[in-house]
Structure 1
Amino acid sequence: MKRLGDRKRHYWLAQRMAQTTGTDLTGAYDAGDLSQQQWAEIVEACRGCDWTESCERWLARHETAKEAPAGCTNCGAYMEIRQAVSEGG
């Protein structure tokens, strides 16, 4: 079984990726488009990702992006959150 990465490190990586892709996790949570469970699942998925080092390099090179790179385990989650927010829930 793969050892999960540090929770705090991956919390911030998930936050940085969300910010870079224009995914407002806090806003989505406040609007009811993201549950506490879903937010926790995003962090846990990040903790289990094999792409962490590449993620950090990617984030260092991008201030903004239309979407997360394909290697990101939360690429689809961020897209769904942005869609839900844009549709008003």
Structure 2
Amino acid sequence: MIGYPEAPRAWGFTRGMARTVGISLTEAVVEGWLSRGELGCMVEACRTCGQTVKCTDWLASTVKAEALPDFCQNAPAIGSLRG
């Protein structure tokens, strides 16, 4: 199982955002669509983003979405995994 014990909140937000648009980041790494290093960069971008309140609110009210919100720094990277 892929996880980031040094940044659990950021990992949770990053994974949660991806899940709302139908992406499993773990599967993306296993299948070779995303490297572990790229995923680490995404988690770090999330960790340093500063939009925790917006992210928490959006994830709490969104189960499924067509696109991620503009404030998400990982929206382009996650969107590129949609194919």
Common topology (TM > 0.5): yes
Letter of the 2:63 counterpart: E
Q: How far does residue 50 in structure 1 lie from its aligned partner after superposition?
A: 2.0
Letter of the 1:35 counterpart: S
Q: How far does residue 35 in structure 1 lie from its aligned partner after superposition?
A: 0.2
Letter of the 1:10 counterpart: A
TM norm structure 1: 0.82
- 1:28 corresponds in structure 2 to 28
Letter of the 1:27 counterpart: E
Measured in 1, the distance between the counterparts of 2:67 and 2:77 equals 10
Where does structure 1 lack aligned partners over 5 or more consecutive residues?
1-5, 84-89
- 1:79 corresponds in structure 2 to 79
Q: How far does residue 67 in structure 1 lie from its aligned partner after superposition?
A: 1.4
The total of aligned residue pairs comes to 78
C-alpha root-mean-square deviation of aligned residues, in Å?
1.2
- 2:49 corresponds in structure 1 to 49
- Note the alpha carbon deviations across 1:36-80, whole angstroms, 9 max, x for none: 001101100000112111010001110000111010010001011
Structure having the higher helix fraction is 1
Q: How far does residue 32 in structure 1 lie from its aligned partner after superposition?
A: 0.5
Where does structure 2 lack aligned partners over 5 or more consecutive residues?
1-5
Residues 17 and 59, structure 1, Cα contact 8 Å, conserved in 2: yes
TM norm structure 2: 0.87
> Could you list the runs of 4 or more consecutive aligned residues of structure 1 that deviate by over 3 angstroms after TM superposition?
none
